[in-house]
């Protein structure tokens, strides 16, 4: 690939807030598409800039390939052009199986296909091996479909080095990185490596978020956009114009994000129940029966604080 190649069609993914979507289930443990449609509208009504479907928050490791493909296609259809939709969903270990998964996902019409960084190699294999597999994979995917990366923490976290990320950016095929390093210095180096290319960095971590925006990161793609996306939307749109208020809100968002350490995504589904979006908090990745009364109370308290702050920080 030529290092001078421009990003596909000169495209850039919109900056801003990209929730990592959760998947509602019925009491029979099937995907609840009626609730999912309400959820899509809820995200968009809150002002998000894009949707990341079929990711770890979506419980993709607990969905069949048919479910993953149907989920991505449904989100793309119901978003109906209001916001772009990206999706991942390759969970297999064998390279050939991943190719089949990604080709099926690419055929859904999503706006970009996101590669999971830990799927191409084991934790012990080198980045050189990783890059070799990536080159093989690129030959199997539609050349005009924009691609992204997700440094998914499960089953292990593989961070992309700035040098490898630069190669990916210069290929012209990658527009999106969901960074999970939770490390400002790491993101600073990545941003320097991709400067002048079409690849943009979306931070998944609340504590480091505002600082990395100041360094040039493009947006936020994290689990807390399932609790209060409107607050992240305000922060992204107003942090330069209202720096004092932005710092105050960023402090709250950082502390609020500690609720991730509860039984996520059960707790996010419970929060959405309080708002009338979902009808239950059933999960496949977690045992919802382990969600305690105290944890429910904590989510309710966060909901009250969010409603109060949303009246203050409204776009």
Give the domain range for residue 108.
8-312
* Residue in the block written with tokens 């990395």: 212
Q: What per-residue confidence (pLDDT) applies to 1? A: 36
Q: What per-residue confidence (pLDDT) applies to 315? A: 63
DSSP string, 15-66: PEE--B----B-TTSSB-HHHHHHHHHHHHHTT-S-EEESSTTTTGGGS-HH
Q: What per-residue confidence (pLDDT) applies to 294? A: 98
Q: What per-residue confidence (pLDDT) applies to 12? A: 83
In a domain, 23, yes or no: yes
Q: What per-residue confidence (pLDDT) applies to 11? A: 75
Residue 194's SS3 state is: coil
Q: What per-residue confidence (pLDDT) applies to 292? A: 98
CATH number at residue 97: 3.20.20.70
In a domain, 1, yes or no: no
In a domain, 280, yes or no: yes
Number of domains in the chain: 1
In a domain, 3, yes or no: no
In terms of C-beta density within 10 A (0-12 exposed, 13-18 middle, 19 or more buried), how is residue 183 classed?
middle
C-alpha–C-alpha distance, residues 266 and 182, integer Å: 23
In a domain, 193, yes or no: yes
C-alpha–C-alpha distance, residues 56 and 227, integer Å: 16
For the entire predicted model, the pTM comes to: 0.95
- Which residues does the chain have with pLDDT short of 50? 1-5
Q: What per-residue confidence (pLDDT) applies to 226? A: 98
Q: Which residues pair with 177 in a beta bridge?
A: 149, 201
In a domain, 51, yes or no: yes
In a domain, 2, yes or no: no
């Amino acid at each position: 690939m030529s290092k001078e190649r421009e990003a596909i069609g000169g495209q850039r993914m919109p900056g801003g807030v990209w929730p990592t979507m959760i998947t509602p289930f019925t009491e029979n443990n099937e995907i609840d598409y009626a609730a999912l449609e309400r959820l899509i509208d809820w995200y968009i009504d809150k002002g998000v800039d894009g949707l990341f479907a079929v990711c770890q928050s979506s419980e993709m490791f607990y969905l069949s390939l048919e479910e993953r493909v149907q989920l991505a296609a449904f989100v793309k259809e119901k978003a109906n052009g209001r916001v772009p939709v990206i999706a991942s969903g390759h969970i297999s270990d064998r390279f050939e199986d991943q190719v089949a998964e990604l080709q099926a996902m690419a055929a859904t019409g999503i706006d970009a296909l996101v590669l999971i960084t830990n799927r191409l190699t084991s934790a012990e294999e080198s980045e050189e091996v990783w890059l070799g597999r990536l080159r093989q994979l690129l030959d199997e995917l539609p050349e005009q479909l924009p691609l992204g990366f997700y440094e998914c923490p499960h089953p292990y976290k593989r961070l992309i080095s700035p040098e490898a990320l630069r190669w990916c950016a210069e290929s012209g095929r990658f527009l999106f990185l969901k960074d999970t390093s939770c490390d400002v210095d790491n993101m600073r180096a990545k941003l320097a490596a991709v400067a002048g290319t079409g690849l943009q960095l979306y931070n998944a971590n609340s504590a480091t978020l505002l600082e990395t925006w100041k360094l040039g990161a493009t947006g936020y793609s994290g689990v807390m956009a399932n609790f209060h996306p409107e607050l992240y939307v305000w922060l992204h749109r107003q942090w330069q114009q209202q720096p004092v208020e932005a710092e105050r809100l960023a402090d709250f968002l950082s502390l609020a994000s500690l609720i991730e350490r509860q039984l996520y995504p059960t707790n996010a589904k419970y929060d959405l129940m309080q708002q009338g979006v979902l009808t239950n908090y059933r999960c496949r990745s977690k045992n919802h029966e382990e969600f305690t009364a105290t944890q429910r109370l904590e989510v309710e308290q966060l909901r009250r604080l969010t409603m109060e702050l949303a009246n203050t920080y409204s776009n």
